[in-house]
Structure 1
Amino acid sequence: MSFKLTALASVIALAVTGCASQGSLEQNVVNNLAENLDVNYELVTNHGANEGLKCQELNAEWASCDLINLTLVNNGPAVDSKDWTIYFHSIRMILDVQNDQFKVTHVTGDLHTLEPTDKFDGFAEGETVVIPYIGEYWTLFENDYMPRAYVVSGDAKPKTIKSTDAEDPSAYLTPISGDNWKRTPDDNNVLATAQSRFEKNNDVNLIAKEELAGSIIPTPLSTQLTGDSISLAGGINIENEAIPGSMMVALNDRLEMLGVNTEGQYAVKVTLDPTRFTKEQKIEGAYQLDVREDATYIVGYDYQGAFYGMQSLIALMTTGDKNTVPTVKITDAPRFDYRGVMVDVGRNFHSKAAILRTLDQMSAYKMNKFHFHLTDDEGWRIEIPGLPELTDIGSNRCHDLSETQCVLPQLGSGPTSDNFGSGFYSKQDYIDILMYAKARGIEVIPEIDMPAHARAAVVSMEARYKRLAASGDMEAANQYRLMDPQDTSNVTTVQFYDKRSFINPCMDSSVAFVDKVIAEMAAMHKAAGMPLNTWHFGGDEAKNIKQGAGFQDINSADKVAWKGDLDLSQQDKPFAKSPMCQQTINDGIVADYDHLPSYFAERVSQLVADQGIANFQAWQDGLKYSEDAGAFATDNVRVNFWDVLYWGGGASAYDWSAKGYDLIVSNPDYVYMDMPYEVDPEERGYYWATRATDTRKMFGFAPENLPQNAETSLDRDGNGFASKGTAEYKGFYGLSAQLWSETVRTDEQYEFMVFPRVLAAAERAWHKADWEVDYKAGVEYSQQTNFVNKDALNAEWARFANVLGQRELAKLDAAGIQYRVPVPGAKIENGRLQMNVSMPGLKLQYSTDGGDNWNIYNHDAQPVISGDVSVRAVSANGLRFSRVTSL
């Protein structure tokens, strides 16, 4: 018996040793590859269909595909093992691999795997391996290549490949070159170069500071300079009879930031008097400002107006303790009730501190609605008491194939949760944000996106289901389940997720979940003293993209060359194979599967109304199968209108307004701040709607007469388009600028994308310019019409740009905002360097030695240049720089 026990112990010991050895071998493979594999992406061509690639046969949407060389260099010891997998992020579906030693598999979203095949013969020490692959569509900006590929082997700890662990994509890619910056060979966009920037900026000259006196952002209704100026060097003394205490604290914080003494002698008297305003001026937020030698007098139509009057006085100031302001009389009122900013923290998280800084700037520029996109496929970012899985799992991204500890990595977050791919706001964080916003006159509108873009929620509630089911409590397990376990629908979402991206609209447990979340959010708002007045349902993109117009059935007899071949018989509408939804349709509750998202929106609106919330808001496509605004239970129904103008949005906006919806202009081609600033592959952003939206383009947007924009701007390929509306104009409710965060992984990147162009959105939301033509149904605009006073538009932009460059950017610096410093224009003429910048007032620098030494550019003494020269612009405080460009 003793012998048997000893023998058994020896067997166990050998087994344990063997397992340890195997684990050690696997970890060695991971460590070697992660440390030593040099990864490089090089775009060969964006124009695959034009160059003989079989895009159509490879199922590429619109038969468009590109060719990329993925190069792996082994800078370490040889690797013979085939037991490894590289997980990497690609925002384009990979259709084919042209190296038979490797295969690529799509996992979910942008996550793919690269694995060796049976033909893999190892990575020799120092070996270079090229893996050409074909991707769908095109790759036009360098940030399409996401960082943080990582290696997995067996049960070893996954590790990020060191060469890809960088926010600057130049670390792991070859710059996009040749004509690959073009979407198609006949793309008519103008590539941003030093010379093209110089030509674009050439009509924006430096304006003397004296001529800018009285110019503030956003522009008031009426400004009358009275000829003098007042020194505030001795400080001010605010005699407030109108503004609530918490809002005064916010104003004093801004004054302190600008270096203004608030315990001085110069009197600022703030009162309320609605009788002082004309009938047309009796608008929430209206004010009068009278800066005199003896004192400044601010009269608000309401307390919000008094607050804005103080913000306008502050807008006249500069940074520093030697402030002078002009004597001036201002009468002012907002253009739109809704002046908004949307920030997506679902795709990538952004810190509470960054959100608070944004609220500060929104308040300073009189924006009053903060649309907080708190959830998406890639992350759930708000603590909900009673549903801990939403943040324990749904807010974290890491390598867990079971997704019971976290959701899978996306968008360059890599295998660990120690970056902005993960994160959430605690209940107290959210209450703090609400209180901070309230003190700045801003309503916070939470968005919990559904029924699509809900993968983080669905996965979290599946983990909850498994936990409770394992304990035998099936009633609790099913209480908040969001997917029909028998749904076998084959669906691909816009960002390549499957059916687990959708909350099932036919399940009572889905309704219970939404009701629970609304109730908990409403409780947080109540605790903050900011009642939840608006619920944002989301509602966008509840569809299967494989059923879109860019595909044709593989067996079709009438094929066209510009569509991808696909077996459409294998594609389903969302929920089409859910027995619960089949029953809902069979019972006649809903007409068909297309109507399910709008049906769910109507159902949720009743929950919202039952909670006493007056306003229901959504992306307009989520409501498109409802009859009109009367189909919903709340007092008001608001839509963020996001149709692209050159795809018909210039007409459809007026149709939505005619159906009784409060329309919030949110067009991607003009006010999406995740689009690049300019046509340059080194810029950040997605570009499906436009190749560029800089501050000037956003400033020139006409939000009420949408067809007018066809006369002053181009489509995404740099071509003109025609636009006209047919429905009568019933008035729009507001304007909102959006930041989606797929390419925005850090707070610095976030502020770079938002600022300074959001100030142009604030301008258009508050002030209707004289060059904006009134909308008339049936009037068509294009590059051939001449309805718009472009001289007036350009003159107003020049003034706005000078106020930015000479005053406002310095305030952003003082607030710690990491705004984008514009890349300057430059050219050499007759051997002399000429430089300019889109925001005059910023200093410019040049280098003739590759950037080792920088010289200040003097406009009046253009330097003689021979050879190459590099140029850059400098932030207002002199501490940061634009991207460097060369001639």
Structure 2
Amino acid sequence: MNKTFKLGFLPVAIATGLAGCGVLPLQSADQNVVDALASQLDISYDVQTNHGAQEGLACQTMGAEWASCNNVIMTVVNEGEAVADNNWRIYLHSIRVILDVANEDFTIKHITGDLYELAPTASFKGFAKDETVEIPMIAEYWQLFETDFMPRAYVVAGDATPRAIDSLNTENVDAFVAEIEGNKWKRTPEDNNILATAASRFAKNSDVEALSESAIDVAIIPTPLKTRQMRGELNVASGFALSNNALDAEQLKAFETRAALLGVNTKGETALSITLDENAFSGEEAVSGAYKLAINAGGIEVLGFDSVGAFYGLQSLLALTEKGENATLPMVAIEDAPRFEYRGVMVDVGRNFHSKEAMLRTIDQMAAYKLNKLHLHLTDDEGWRLEIPGLPELTEVGSNRCHDLSETSCLLPQLGSGPTTDNFGSGFFSKADYVEILRHAKARGIEVIPEIDMPAHSRAAVVSMEARYSKYAEQGDLAKAEEFRLMDPLDTSNVTTVQLYDKRSFINPCMDSSLRFVDKVITEVKAMHAEAGMPLNTWHFGGDEAKNIKLNAGFQDINASEPVAWKGNIDMSKEDKPFAQSPMCQKMIAEGVAADFGHLPSYFAERVSSVVNAHGIENFQAWQDGLKYSKDASAFETENTRVNFWDVLYWGGDASAYDWASKGYDVIVSNPDYVYLDMPYEVDPKERGYYWATRATDTRKMFGFAPENLPQNAETSVDRDGNGFNGKGTVDHNQGFYGLSAQLWSETVRTDAQYEYMVFPRVIAAAERAWHKADWELDYQIGKAFNLDTNFVNKDAQLQDWTRFANVMGQREMAKLDAAGIQYRIPVPGAKVEAGKLHMNISMPGLPLQYSIDAGKTWIDYSAPVALDSNVNVKVRALSADKQREGRVVSL
């Protein structure tokens, strides 16, 4: 990993130099103001309502999408001496469009993305000593989770060095966000979700019994295709003696590293043979990754269809292996093969960066649970995260976020990154880092799929190439300046993107320099893959959300002939489709190259696929909406065209997925409402995540997802508002999907610890569904309809399956995550007091439980219902499997 740390702007550099000479410089008046405000202002946020339209706010006339808005009071307390100066600005982050500031002493201005400038007006007389100022803010939509509020607002004045406000310079959002209570956690007053409380968790967990060790003796995650248990056990206390005719040196090292981590000796005495034989597999088992594992009195035999299969057989062996003087293995015969060829995890390192070390740990866990595709979302509006030889600006500018309004040295701060680069808002993988990631993945049977998102979500690239243009233009070399330029300088299109950027979020598809840029980046990335010994087989184009959100159905023109009360009023005449005011694109449309401006992103995808194909790359992959105006898969030049399908099921995704498959695309099921890892675990304002697709996805919900029969999920889950929905097979579909992928977007995920909290343990449930089709999953049928009132799914079988999985996780697998240093989310326990006794449970039986009756001063281990005094206040928590970390504390 390569991270850049900036000391600040010129005044800091001068100060450092003078201090080195033994001279303490005088600070400027502006710097004094910045330092005073940053250190003295205690800022907090308190949601007043998330139902503004119902409570009399003029959401519609303020132009809120779907006429929906909320009211939050920003309270500013000056905890120091008076600050009379008005020559300052506070830059703050808001993921919601701020429509109005209801305090005449302040104005608010949108800068870009989630960055806003709060400034005093002439009427503001400064912050008096100990003064409290309330600034009501009206914003679009709602703010239901504490992590909607971003940290690190910062102060700017004149040429002073910007400084983050101390009270907001924390990852602990509890410190500056008031409890979201009452009905304020509801998206609408009619929201039917169940708020997660100790009691509601207890009720939800109550059907999951704790199983004995013997009941899960031969259980493996993910579940094998066939398992036959025999009488007896094999003593393996001495460890294994390997006889290897299947794995290369790096694969063997990967296995031995995992074994050592789990305390398993690979230099012991029990015979362990590892061989390959394709002819030993037939039918659905004759695929890459298939294996057979036999444990009997004579020793252990792992037989792989290929080396990846042999490696997976060893992972299953480790899943069964205990350590210690009395370690034994059950005698079993296992035949196993993957359900899907593509079993993926997508990690967004663009919005916020995640370290190389975190990626290596993720790869280790993917291998342990037989996931085989690491899709790295390497670029977005907020950051470019991969060194590209020959284009240093991409990382010099595009990988850093800091306060530079010109954006010539860095991108502006976003998503709580603050004014400096010393956090995960900044950072990138060097070429050496990326090659190391590739080699680590290759040894574990994992393909790394790089995504360079375009033409939308490309602001980091566009701004970087504008900096390159300026550099060479100033040198008089216009040919070099324009070589990789990505923006038509004459494009005046007025566009607002999904995450509130302007036209600079888009790579212009009508410029030859855009394709030159694509070719250059592919060339360099392909060379890195070659150096690592992992051929570049798949190129991910991105392609998503190339649109102007102000042209969505949630808005209407201020002069609409038939206005409705539930849309925001805006002047539609000022809104453009992307590229509509680009002379270059206007010329192409006039020439009939594309049907209209809306078709340009799909047209660009087809052009990029030709570049990908010219590089000998077999697979072209994209988010499905980026290809929606192409005829079908035949429009692309690569051997295969794949789409990550991310339509929400209850908005029609239960049908549209099959339509994409019928058009010849390899469909990778990637539904936000079931396998997005950035959605909250629970309907609890204290959980992290965005929630536009669902209010909660816990491990159990992900485990219960039926990825091939999407309508079935309507019988076993609810929509965003906690209501039932209808699912029905409507598209003639006679071929299976290509794969399943779990996604982690990083808008609210800034640190590696937060990243691992969001991904683990629920990604292991996604691995289960990607590898194994459960008996309770029904086949897709045209005309078959599902909803909460139907009873086609065998709920008893599903519960039994989940109970097994949950017990294996709680009793075995979480301890392995601990050993690997994974900072997984510890489930919050359920609890209730009934008939004078405290009852506790947890979603993954086996994890330690504790309670406190003295406000958390001391904690007592819980094993069975315990009698309590009626007037005692009880707090509960769970621990990690190794008892080294505590989960979130809740009160009854």
Query: Which TM-score band applies after superposition, normalised by the shorter structure?
Result: over 0.9
Aligned mate of 1:790, from 795, 804, 812: 795
Aligned mate of 1:262, from 263, 266, 277: 266
Q: TM-score, normalised by structure 2?
A: 0.96
Shift of 1:77: 1.1
Distance 1:757 1:322, change over 3 A: farther
Contact 1:338–1:368 (CA<8 Å) still a contact in 2? yes
2:744 corresponds in structure 1 to 739
Paired letter, 2:762: R
Aligned mate of 1:804, from 800, 809, 816: 809
Contact 1:662–1:733 (CA<8 Å) still a contact in 2? yes
SS of the equivalent of 1:289 reads strand
Equivalent residues in 2 for 1:621-632, closer than 5 Å = 621-632=625-636
CA deviations 1:382-405 (Å, max 9, x no partner) are 000000000000000000001111
1:496 corresponds in structure 2 to 500
Aligned mate of 1:813, from 804, 818, 834: 818
Shift of 1:777: 1.4
Measured in 2, the distance between the counterparts of 1:73 and 1:89 equals 19
Equivalent residues in 2 for 1:350-365, closer than 5 Å = 350-365=354-369
Contact 1:435–1:530 (CA<8 Å) still a contact in 2? yes
Measured in 2, the distance between the counterparts of 1:251 and 1:320 equals 19
Measured in 1, the distance between the counterparts of 2:365 and 2:884 equals 20
Equivalent residues in 2 for 1:77-156, closer than 5 Å = 77-156=81-160
Paired letter, 1:542: A
1:4 corresponds in structure 2 to none
SS of the equivalent of 2:234 reads strand
1:561 corresponds in structure 2 to 565
2:729 corresponds in structure 1 to 725
2:13 corresponds in structure 1 to none
Measured in 1, the distance between the counterparts of 2:645 and 2:180 equals 34
Equivalent residues in 2 for 1:688-707, closer than 5 Å = 688-707=692-711
Segments ≥4 residues shifted beyond 6 Å:
20-23
SS of the equivalent of 2:317 reads helix
Aligned mate of 2:56, from 42, 52, 62: 52
Distance 1:118 1:318, change over 3 A: farther
Distance 1:319 1:818, change over 3 A: farther
Contact 2:399–2:460 (CA<8 Å) still a contact in 1? yes
SS of the equivalent of 2:413 reads coil
Contact 1:258–1:320 (CA<8 Å) still a contact in 2? no
| 1:303 is aligned to 2:310 | no
2:488 corresponds in structure 1 to 484
SS of the equivalent of 1:190 reads coil
2:863 corresponds in structure 1 to 858
SS of the equivalent of 1:761 reads helix
1:8 corresponds in structure 2 to none
Aligned residues: 868
Aligned mate of 2:598, from 594, 599, 603: 594
Shift of 1:171: 1.0
1:24 corresponds in structure 2 to 28
Contact 1:104–1:115 (CA<8 Å) still a contact in 2? yes
2:880 corresponds in structure 1 to 875
Shift of 1:744: 0.4
Aligned mate of 1:549, from 549, 553, 557: 553
SS of the equivalent of 1:745 reads coil
Contact 2:493–2:579 (CA<8 Å) still a contact in 1? yes
2:17 corresponds in structure 1 to none
| 1:641 is aligned to 2:641 | no
| 1:436 is aligned to 2:425 | no
SS of the equivalent of 1:349 reads coil
Equivalent residues in 2 for 1:154-553, closer than 5 Å = 154-318=158-322, 322-553=326-557
Shift of 1:294: 2.1
Shift of 1:122: 1.0
Measured in 2, the distance between the counterparts of 1:587 and 1:238 equals 67
Greater CA drift, 724-733 or 337-346: 724-733
Aligned mate of 1:65, from 60, 66, 69: 69
1:838 corresponds in structure 2 to 843
Measured in 2, the distance between the counterparts of 1:864 and 1:219 equals 45
| 1:825 is aligned to 2:848 | no
Shift of 1:293: 2.1
CA deviations 1:46-67 (Å, max 9, x no partner) are 0000000000000000000000
Measured in 2, the distance between the counterparts of 1:224 and 1:860 equals 38
Measured in 2, the distance between the counterparts of 1:696 and 1:321 equals 35
Contact 1:575–1:593 (CA<8 Å) still a contact in 2? yes
Where structure 1 has 5 or more consecutive residues not aligned to the other structure, the ranges are 1-19
2:891 corresponds in structure 1 to 886
Shift of 1:681: 0.1
SS of the equivalent of 1:80 reads coil
2:754 corresponds in structure 1 to 749
SS of the equivalent of 1:326 reads strand
Contact 1:260–1:321 (CA<8 Å) still a contact in 2? no
Contact 2:284–2:337 (CA<8 Å) still a contact in 1? no
Shift of 1:228: 1.6
Give the RMSD, CA atoms, in angstroms. 1.1
CA deviations 1:416-465 (Å, max 9, x no partner) are 00000000000010000000000000000000000000000000000000
Query: Matched residues, percent identical?
Result: 66
Paired letter, 1:343: V
Shift of 1:850: 0.8
Contact 1:712–1:783 (CA<8 Å) still a contact in 2? yes
Measured in 1, the distance between the counterparts of 2:254 and 2:702 equals 28
Shift of 1:865: 5.5
Contact 2:315–2:368 (CA<8 Å) still a contact in 1? yes
Contact 1:40–1:173 (CA<8 Å) still a contact in 2? yes
Shift of 1:381: 0.2
Shift of 1:305: 1.0
SS of the equivalent of 1:225 reads strand
Measured in 2, the distance between the counterparts of 1:870 and 1:193 equals 12
1:5 corresponds in structure 2 to none
Shift of 1:159: 0.3
Greater CA drift, 318-327 or 359-368: 318-327
| 1:760 is aligned to 2:727 | no
Contact 2:259–2:318 (CA<8 Å) still a contact in 1? yes
Distance 1:862 1:225, change over 3 A: farther
Shift of 1:279: 2.4
Contact 2:876–2:889 (CA<8 Å) still a contact in 1? yes
Distance 1:197 1:126, change over 3 A: same
Aligned mate of 2:79, from 49, 60, 75: 75
Measured in 2, the distance between the counterparts of 1:321 and 1:534 equals 47
Paired letter, 1:699: F
Shift of 1:321: 6.4
SS of the equivalent of 1:493 reads coil
Q: TM-score, normalised by structure 1?
A: 0.97
Contact 1:832–1:865 (CA<8 Å) still a contact in 2? no
